[in-house]
């Protein structure tokens, strides 16, 4: 615990030099953690995260599917979505999604409906590049309208994207894949005047580890 101290040496100090550790807070200096610990504490804190279930085209037209919860709207004008691809746990070659997107310059982000928790988790297992998670896990696909990469049937909202840019962050590094949305598919009846009914939509989100959450109470501010 001492190792997590905010003075960089072990003791937990405030900016003024007084001990920062109190009954109320533990202060973590992220630089003193291992990579695995940093990952655990950051992904446990920034929750809930929506999940981009990304389909991409591999060599020979193989359809790859993998979930990414470091996922964000980067711009509205035009619509740009980004997800961050980290390094593999073992080996130095890029994750299949990153390699595919670099080559094909397009992908689909499929939002994840309730009931897909287990299958999304299994899609994240590392498979060789010549194994399609779509075939392996029994997904059905629907052709896209503006790109070649297919969408996942059963997902209630899908974004067809063309690659805008890939930006590197950090030392590992993480690659932020930015896609321009060229077509957005919303299940019939979900949107009225572009307002999406969140209850009917009900995507799942990821919290720490293998845990997911569903939408709970809606609170009006
Ligand atoms: C719900 C969920 C969210 C994930 N989010 C990310 C993420 O944001 N970035 C990342 O690099 N890996 C993430 N992963 C791990 C990847 O899905 C995993 O590395 C996968 O094997 C990559 O597949 P690919 O090689 O086919 O691209 C996540 C896994 C799960 C289960």
The yes-or-no verdict on residue 12 having pLDDT over 90 is no
Are 59 and 138 found together in one domain?
A: yes
Q: Which atom of ligand 1 is nearest to the CA of 70?
A: 8
Q: Which residues contact 7 (CB under 8 A, 6 or more apart)?
A: 13, 29
| One domain for residues 65 and 41 | no
Residue 215 lies in a domain: no
| pLDDT of res. 22 | 64
7 sits in which H/E element = none
* 73 CB-side CA count, 13 A: 6
What is the per-residue pLDDT for 1? 47
What pLDDT score does 21 carry?
A: 60
CA distance 203 to 198: 8
Q: Which residue has the higher pLDDT, 11 or 104?
A: 104
Report yes or no on 69 lying in a domain: yes
Which has the higher per-residue pLDDT, 186 or 6? Answer: 186
- Kindly state whether residues 137 and 161 are assigned to the same domain: yes
Range of the domain at 102: 49-206
In this model, does residue 157 exceed pLDDT 80? yes
- The whole-number pLDDT of residue 172 equals 87
Q: What is the mean pLDDT of residues 112-130?
A: 94
Q: In terms of domains, do 33 and 61 share one? A: no
Helix (H) or strand (E) holding 56: strand 52-57
Residue among 63, 66, 173 whose CB has most ligand 1 atoms within 8 A, to mutate: 66
Q: Do residue 140 and residue 84 come from a single domain?
A: yes
The answer to whether residue 176 is domain-embedded is yes
41 & 58 share domain: no
The half-sphere exposure of 23 on its side-chain side, counting CA atoms within 13 A, is 0
| Same domain? 67 vs 34 | no
Instruction: Kindly state if the Cβ of 180 falls inside 6 Å of ligand 1.
Output: no
CA 179 to ligand 1 centroid distance, Å: 17
- pLDDT exceeds cutoff 70 at 153: yes
Ligand 1 geometric centre to CA of 104 (Å): 19
The pLDDT tens digits for 17-57 are 444 566 789 999 999 999 999 999 999 999 999 999 999 99
In a domain, 14, yes or no: yes
Task: Name the residue of 64, 68, 149 whose CB sits within 8 Å of the most ligand 1 atoms, as the mutation to test its pocket.
Answer: 68
Give the CATH number of the domain where residue 69 resides. 2.30.110.10
Instruction: Give per-residue pLDDT as tens, 76-95.
Output: 999 999 999 999 988 789 99
Shared-domain flag, residues 34 and 117? no
Model's pTM, two decimal places?
0.93
pLDDT of residue 18: 47
Is the domain of 10 the same as that of 85?
Answer: no
- Categorize the per-residue pLDDT at 6 as very low, low, confident or very high, splitting at 50, 70 and 90: confident
pLDDT band, very low/low/confident/very high, at 11 (cuts 50, 70, 90): very low
Domain membership of residue 216 (yes or no) is no
User: Is 40 in the same domain as 64?
Assistant: no
| Atom 23 of ligand 1: nearest residue by CA position | 66
Please check whether residue 6 lies inside any domain of the structure: yes
Tell me what pLDDT residue 17 has. 44
* CA 183–ligand 1 middle distance (angstroms): 24
Are the C-beta atoms of 193 and 177 separated by less than 8 Å?
A: no
Q: Is the pLDDT of residue 182 over 50?
A: yes
pLDDT of residue 47: 97
Residues 23 and 86 in one domain: no
Mean pLDDT over the full length of the chain: 91
- The answer to whether position 24 is within a domain reads yes
* Closest atom of ligand 1 relative to the 87 alpha carbon: 11
- Indicate whether 60 and 113 sit together in one domain: yes
| CB neighbour class for 40 (10 Å; exposed up to 12, middle 13-18, buried from 19) | middle
Provide, rounded to the nearest whole percent, the portion of the chain with pLDDT above 70: 90
Are the C-beta atoms of 115 and 77 separated by less than 8 Å?
no
Question: Residue 12 C-alpha to ligand 1 middle, in angstroms?
Answer: 34
- What radius of gyration do the chain's Cα atoms show? 20
Residue 219 located in a structural domain: no
Q: How many structural domains comprise the chain? A: 2
């Amino acid at each position: 615990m001492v190792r997590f101290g905010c003075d960089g040496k072990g003791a937990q100090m405030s900016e003024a030099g007084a001990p920062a550790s109190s009954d109320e807070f533990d202060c973590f200096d992220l630089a003193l953690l291992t990579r695995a610990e940093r990952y655990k504490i950051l992904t446990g804190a920034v929750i809930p995260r929506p999940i981009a279930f990304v389909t991409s085209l591999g060599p020979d037209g193989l359809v790859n599917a993998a979930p990414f919860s470091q996922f964000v709207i980067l711009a509205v004008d035009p619509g740009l979505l980004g997800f961050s691809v980290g390094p593999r746990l073992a080996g130095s070659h890029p994750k299949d999604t990153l390699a595919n997107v670099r080559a094909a310059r397009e992908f689909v982000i499929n939002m994840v409906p309730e009931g897909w928790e287990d299958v999304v988790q299994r899609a994240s297992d590392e498979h060789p590049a010549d194994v399609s998670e779509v075939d392996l896990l029994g997904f059905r696909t629907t052709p896209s309208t503006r790109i070649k990469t297919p969408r996942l049937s059963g997902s209630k909202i899908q974004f067809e994207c063309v690659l805008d840019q890939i930006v590197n962050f950090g030392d590992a590094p993480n690659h932020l894949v930015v896609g321009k949305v060229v077509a957005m598919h919303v299940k019939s009846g979900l949107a009225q005047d572009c307002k999406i009914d969140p209850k009917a939509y009900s995507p799942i989100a990821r919290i720490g580890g293998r845990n997911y959450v569903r939408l709970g109470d809606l609170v009006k501010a």
